[in-house]
Amino acid sequence: MKTRVRGGVSVHPEGGMTITTEDLKLVGGSDVAAILGLSPWATPFSVWARIVGGAQGEESIPKARGKALEAAVLALYAEETGAELLGAKKLQHPAMPFTRASLDSMARREGRRVVEAKTSLERSKWGEPGTDVIPEPYLYQCTWYSGVALANGVVDVPEVDVAALVAGELGVYHVRHDPELFGLLEEAVRRFWVDYVEPMRPPPLSEPWIDLGAVNRMHPRHDGDARHWDSLGPAEQVAVREWLQARRERQEAAAREAEWEARAKLALGTAPQLVGLRADTGVGRIDWKQNKASKDTDWRTVALEAAASREELDKAIRRNTTEKPGARPFVARPLREEP
């Protein structure tokens, strides 16, 4: 599938945007909510880590599902509205070359407009089709897309059609462009780039699990010599001390939990449940049921028995074996233990 280029804008004739390594170094539409601290999937730090450190996360199941269904959702949208799909576009903000807007598709429906395809299993986060009531992160994304599209002169209608397959049903939502909101987004993106990306200074950490994953992806392997404690700055020493303190507290809490779990299980004995707990426990019931028996197949032995010979099996194993990068565990060694 070839990509045609018109006026510096890449156009994929049948939809389906290819995001390149260079694209990942730019601020995209789905990053805007994260920069504002309003995304459940990313943070200012994780966006910065991807742009500056190449920390690209693994694709989540919902995101992979959305990509797989994108063409089908757009086709349903075209059938529902009678719109003519014009294909995906990749744009840049004319005044901010460090940004991008990767549009799922353009469409001709009462003029040219942006179409964004979404899939979701959570009906409660969406309003009635025909309205602009969509999840907040998508609202900022659509505002960014419509603003950049208008700035590039590729749309006639200042509105994004959001074709959303929600809980298996297609709904079409309409997000009218808000110039004031777009101006706020422009300023937030510009400040993020100037304050953090250009000086290579990380934003404050805000969501521990998301940010920890981003740090791990930035530094997947070690290099160089060991650092000495005295080489760390004051803030870096505080970070190490706080981690060690939290680690000790977690270990103590885990030991305490194990002790009281043993005592609680002794109290229940063979009972499958404990019910009627007081409200101040915050728990409705405690289950201690045995799961159904499961089967465990020794597939290596099965393969060995089925193979013509041990040599053929070993060859098959070698053909289908790949090497994975080693993990980089963060381990605190006791004083008595050699590194």
Give the three-state DSSP class for 87. Answer: strand
Amino acid 16: pLDDT: 55
Neighbours of 178 (CB within 10 A): 17
Longest CA span, the chain: 75
Asked if residue 254 is part of any domain, the answer here is: no
What's the CATH code of the domain at 105?
A: 3.90.320.10
Amino acid 10: pLDDT: 35
Residue of 69, 72, 101 lying closest to 85 (CA atoms): 72
Q: What is the pTM of this model?
A: 0.81
Neighbours of 249 (CB within 10 A): 10
Asked if residue 256 is part of any domain, the answer here is: no
Amino acid 67: pLDDT: 73
What residue type is 250 in one-letter code?
Answer: R
**Structural domain span for residue 92:** 4-36+61-206
36 within 8 A of 136, measured Cβ to Cβ = no
Asked if residue 215 is part of any domain, the answer here is: no
122 within 8 A of 105, measured Cβ to Cβ = no
Amino acid 208: pLDDT: 95
Amino acid 7: pLDDT: 33
Give the three-state DSSP class for 101. Answer: strand
Using 50 as the pLDDT threshold, list the residues of the chain that sit under it.
1-15
Any residues with CB less than 8 A from the CB of 66 and at least 6 apart, and which? 117, 118, 119
Structural domain count, the chain? 1
Amino acid 107: pLDDT: 97
Place of tokens 């959702």: 73
Asked if residue 316 is part of any domain, the answer here is: no
- Please give the radius of gyration of the chain, using alpha carbons only, rounded to the nearest integer: 26
Asked if residue 184 is part of any domain, the answer here is: yes
Asked if residue 302 is part of any domain, the answer here is: no
Q: What is the pLDDT of residues 13-57, one digit of tens each?
A: 334 567 788 999 999 999 999 999 999 999 999 999 999 998 776
- Please count the helices (runs of H) and the strands (runs of E) in the chain: 9, 9
45 within 8 A of 202, measured Cβ to Cβ = yes
Query: What does 133-167 look like in DSSP terms, one character per residue?
Result: ---HHHHHHHHHHHHHHHHHT--SSSEEEEEEEET
Asked if residue 30 is part of any domain, the answer here is: yes
Asked if residue 298 is part of any domain, the answer here is: no
Amino acid 128: pLDDT: 96
